[in-house]
A and B are shown apart, each in its own frame.
Chain A
Amino acid sequence: MRKFQIYEDKFRCHCEHPKGVKQSRSQKKDCFPIVLSAKYLYSFVIPSEARNLVVRLLRDFVPRNDSVKNCYGQHTMLAMITIFALLCFFLLSFDAYSQGLVVMAKKVSGDLPLEADNSAWNNASAIEIPLAPQVMAKPRTYESSVKNLKVRALHNTKEMAFLLEWSDASEDSSLDVDKFSDAVALEFPSSAAASKPHFAMGDKDNPVNIWFWKASWQNANDMHSTYATSDEFAGGLEVGNPVSRARISPVENIIAQGFGNATDLEKADIQNISGNGKWQSGKWFVVFKRPLTSQDKFDVVFREGSVTPLSLAVWNGSEGDRGGRKVVSTWYYVALETEEKETIYFYPVLAFIGTLGIEAGIIMGIRRKRG
């Protein structure tokens, strides 16, 4: 707090200063918002060392002079610094992108592959997402051998496909009372979400849309062999439990509004997500594919050029993972590449360099004037 007051003082606009020379209303109006935004930025966004540096710069380069002219000079300086700081911010975001916060869905032509070994995937760059045990709700997990997962994405303006790849020493694809299946899920904010949901299964107002793939569903031979039975009655089937019915697909479309609330959205006739998984020498490769749009109001919708939050969960059957026993990520993002790819990502950089130049010019100009 004390520090902040010091900056307040340093930033005190000369035109507001009691000793300041009278100036016209319009002049006052002009400089006020700039000062405010600069103050805001400095106090909240910029780390304290940077703030100190800026304050020192101001003190050294902008003499306190009560002339209106110089007051303008100071404000221009402030504005420049603000823009500079904002650009730094953008750069930081770009840095984050390169560190893997955003999965870039490569735009390709033709059909999207459902197989992991299709060469189309070579076009997509992978990002590695760290996974941590779920400890928000009981039953919790504290240890897991699954530490991260690689994501690749493709789109062809009509469909979206994800390839997920992670290490798992054992292929767990059949169930038994003490045997659980490997599985993976992609989570997106539901289209019905009021705002960005919590990554851990969403909440009542902010549902999440989950694409769930399970190895035991992939394993078509997982029909438990039966012995002599006298009737066909099966509780789960009678009431239409989606877990019980014969699998038409290894994936399931789920909507969740908090822990323990996942509801299956799949109606037999709306089968809009397809999936395919394959375990090979200690690794799972799972592909999800869906049209960019969907009729269901809860389903996530993708648009070319848009950025959508995404999070992931992995279950390792041999470690007893099921339900809430899983490893999860926080929110990451998936961006759908557009035509203007080069320019769209080049513009900010260009703008940055341009501004730098202008800024340097102005600073030099101010100095010259002062000198």
Chain B
Amino acid sequence: MAKNKVKNWQIQREMYYPYEEVRPQKQFAAVFDINKCIACQTCTMACKHTWTTGKGQEYMFWNNVESKPYGFYPLAWDVKILDLLGPQKWEGKVYKGNTIFEAAPKGQVAQGYIPEEIDWAHPNIGEDEPSGSIDKGDFITMPHKVWHFYLARICNHCTYPACVGACPRKAIYKREEDGIVLVDQKRCRGYRECVRACPYKKVLFNNTTKIAEKCIGCYPLAEQGHQTQCVTTCIGRIRLNGWLHTPDKPDPANPVDYLVHIKKIALPLYPQLGLEPNIYYIPPIHVPLPYLIQMFGPDAANAVAAYKNAHKDETLLGALTLFGSTEFWSAKFRVSKGIVTGYGEKGKELVKVPLKEPVFIRPFHDEKLQVYRHNIT
């Protein structure tokens, strides 16, 4: 397999990849706002009920939500791959360390490992585990000394998927029309080279069908302009699907382009691995910066600052308000007079949402109905 130099904008340099740089016509992407996730697992169950109810999929979660820093699915997935990768040095915005392709052991396509079966057996291990032990009085100290947050994960439908690169049978492919990465269920022979190579561990082995399965980006929905199950069912309204352009030609009216390229508030997960993953996270603002930089790259500080100032920025607020407001893919958005409007691909208006919900204060005692009321939001 020839090695090619490809451009990876997330690490601001060229890198090696087994195939040439080919970008799809449109790239499936999503932004997850970690600050709003409540770990209700509604997304997990929505995905499970839709796609993984069959035999051999009992412990298979294409969408999972893990508590960080001590939650993992599978066990210790990120700790292990970061450890295998060695030092990950950034110089400014340029990544100077090795990507998993560059750190590949002799005779392999990428650095990686196969988790043990038991590693997948506790999908919500480490749930709500805080970063350290809590001493007396800590809980009233601000900012809190300990922290944790919820990391919702699906397949990143990477621009340079390790799963695709590692498959000796070319049974995994990235769709030209939307960049969704799929395992050809007919070609796969169950070698699990993808399970080994995907650093996010988002290709899973089905021991009933003896082959690999993974998140399909709800492509039948995407083809209808409908956002994925995990996006539309999200209780915390933390998710937004969108078509992502490259940073050299971002569309400021495209909400995902705007959040990722213009405001740089949504960041890739472990960009140093070198896959150009396409799920972008708004980092949790209460988590120590070194941890965020390790997880989301050098733009973390900027993203946190921008998020803290979001209330002053109408356009940003507009983009964030679109989350969970429509079940359709918003190709464009516009904010005017305190209202954000989402438009579909053909310019059709999808939804109108006020940036601030109007507040009604009702009297504690309703004279007309002769009842007492509590005000709720």
Chain A residues close to B by CB (< 8 Å): 135, 137-142, 175-180, 224, 226-227, 229-241, 243-244, 259-262, 320, 322-324
A-B contact pairs, 14 of them (CB 8 A): A137-B168, A138-B109, A140-B106, A175-B210, A176-B205, A226-B55, A229-B54, A230-B53, A236-B209, A236-B210, A236-B211, A244-B185, A322-B192, A323-B168
Contact A226 B209, beta carbon cutoff 8 Å: no
A322 and B209 in contact (CB under 8 A), knowing A139-B107, A177-B115? no
Interface check B193, CB cutoff 8 A: yes
Distance (Å) between the CB of A151 and the closest chain B CB?
A: 25
A139 CA / B107 CA spacing, docked (Å): 5
Interface check B188, CB cutoff 8 A: yes
A180 CA / B195 CA spacing, docked (Å): 13
Contact A227 B58, beta carbon cutoff 8 Å: yes
Contact B190 A243, beta carbon cutoff 8 Å: yes
Distance (Å) between the CB of B203 and the closest chain A CB?
A: 10
Contact A141 B169, beta carbon cutoff 8 Å: no
Distance (Å) between the CB of B214 and the closest chain A CB?
A: 10
Interface check B8, CB cutoff 8 A: no
Interface check B352, CB cutoff 8 A: no
Q: Which residues of chain A are near B190, meaning CB under 8 Å? A: 175, 243, 322
A46 CA / B106 CA spacing, docked (Å): 41
Shortest Cβ-Cβ A-B pairs, 3 listed: A140-B107, A236-B209, A323-B191
Contact B117 A177, beta carbon cutoff 8 Å: yes
A268 CA / B19 CA spacing, docked (Å): 36
Distance (Å) between the CB of A223 and the closest chain B CB?
A: 8
User: Which residue of chain A is the closest to B59 with respect to CB atoms?
Assistant: A227
A180 CA / B206 CA spacing, docked (Å): 13
Distance (Å) between the CB of B283 and the closest chain A CB?
A: 31
Interface check B122, CB cutoff 8 A: no
Q: Which residues of chain B are near A137, meaning CB under 8 Å? A: 1, 168
Which residues of chain B from 56 to 102 have a CB within 8 Å of any chain A CB? 56-58
A31 CA / B279 CA spacing, docked (Å): 82
Q: Which residues of chain A are near B336, meaning CB under 8 Å? A: none
Select one of A142, A230, A236, A237 contacting B107, CB under 8 A: A142
Chain B residues close to A by CB (< 8 Å): 1, 53-58, 106-109, 114-117, 120, 166, 168-170, 185-193, 195, 204-211, 213
Distance (Å) between the CB of B101 and the closest chain A CB?
A: 12
User: Which residue of chain A is the closest to B170 with respect to CB atoms?
Assistant: A260
A141 CA / B108 CA spacing, docked (Å): 9
A240 CA / B208 CA spacing, docked (Å): 14
Given contacts A175-B207, A229-B55, A239-B185, 10 further A-B contacts (CB under 8 A): A137-B168, A138-B109, A139-B168, A177-B117, A230-B53, A234-B54, A240-B186, A241-B211, A262-B169, A322-B191
Distance (Å) between the CB of B197 and the closest chain A CB?
A: 9
Contact B58 A323, beta carbon cutoff 8 Å: no
A177 and B114 in contact (CB under 8 A), knowing A236-B188, A244-B211? yes
Contact B55 A244, beta carbon cutoff 8 Å: no
Contact B107 A141, beta carbon cutoff 8 Å: yes
A234 and B206 in contact (CB under 8 A), knowing A138-B108, A139-B109, A323-B168? yes
Contact A229 B58, beta carbon cutoff 8 Å: yes
Distance (Å) between the CB of B42 and the closest chain A CB?
A: 18
Contact A238 B185, beta carbon cutoff 8 Å: yes
A177 and B205 in contact (CB under 8 A), knowing A135-B107, A239-B186? yes
User: Which residue of chain B is the closest to A263 with respect to CB atoms?
Assistant: B187
Contact B108 A139, beta carbon cutoff 8 Å: yes
Select one of A142, A178, A235, A323 contacting B189, CB under 8 A: A323
A227 CA / B57 CA spacing, docked (Å): 10
Contact A224 B107, beta carbon cutoff 8 Å: no
A322 CA / B92 CA spacing, docked (Å): 42
A244 and B210 in contact (CB under 8 A), knowing A177-B120, A178-B117, A233-B54? yes
Q: Which residues of chain B are near A324, meaning CB under 8 Å? A: 168
A233 and B107 in contact (CB under 8 A), knowing A244-B211, A324-B168? no
Contact A231 B54, beta carbon cutoff 8 Å: yes
A142 CA / B105 CA spacing, docked (Å): 11
Distance (Å) between the CB of A217 and the closest chain B CB?
A: 10
A237 CA / B210 CA spacing, docked (Å): 10
Contact A229 B186, beta carbon cutoff 8 Å: no
Q: Which residues of chain B are near A261, meaning CB under 8 Å? A: 169
User: Which residue of chain B is the closest to A216 with respect to CB atoms?
Assistant: B210
Task: Name which of A177, A224, A226, A243 has the most chain B CB atoms within 10 A of its CB.
Answer: A177
Distance (Å) between the CB of A349 and the closest chain B CB?
A: 47
Q: Which residues of chain B are near A178, meaning CB under 8 Å? A: 114-117
A322 CA / B114 CA spacing, docked (Å): 13
User: Which residue of chain B is the closest to A235 with respect to CB atoms?
Assistant: B185
Q: Which residues of chain A are near B206, meaning CB under 8 Å? A: 234-236
A232 CA / B53 CA spacing, docked (Å): 8
A177 and B211 in contact (CB under 8 A), knowing A137-B168, A229-B55, A231-B53? no
Q: Which residues of chain B are near A260, meaning CB under 8 Å? A: 168-170
User: Which residue of chain A is the closest to B186 with respect to CB atoms?
Assistant: A239
Distance (Å) between the CB of B76 and the closest chain A CB?
A: 14
Distance (Å) between the CB of A186 and the closest chain B CB?
A: 18
Distance (Å) between the CB of A52 and the closest chain B CB?
A: 45
A176 and B54 in contact (CB under 8 A), knowing A140-B107, A239-B185, A323-B168? no
Q: Which residues of chain A are near B116, meaning CB under 8 Å? A: 177-178
Distance (Å) between the CB of B91 and the closest chain A CB?
A: 31
User: Which residue of chain A is the closest to B18 with respect to CB atoms?
Assistant: A138
A179 CA / B210 CA spacing, docked (Å): 11
Contact B207 A176, beta carbon cutoff 8 Å: yes
Task: Name which of B117, B168, B204 has the most chain A CB atoms within 10 A of its CB.
Answer: B168
Distance (Å) between the CB of B2 and the closest chain A CB?
A: 11
A313 CA / B168 CA spacing, docked (Å): 17
Select one of A179, A230, A237 contacting B209, CB under 8 A: A237
Distance (Å) between the CB of A327 and the closest chain B CB?
A: 14
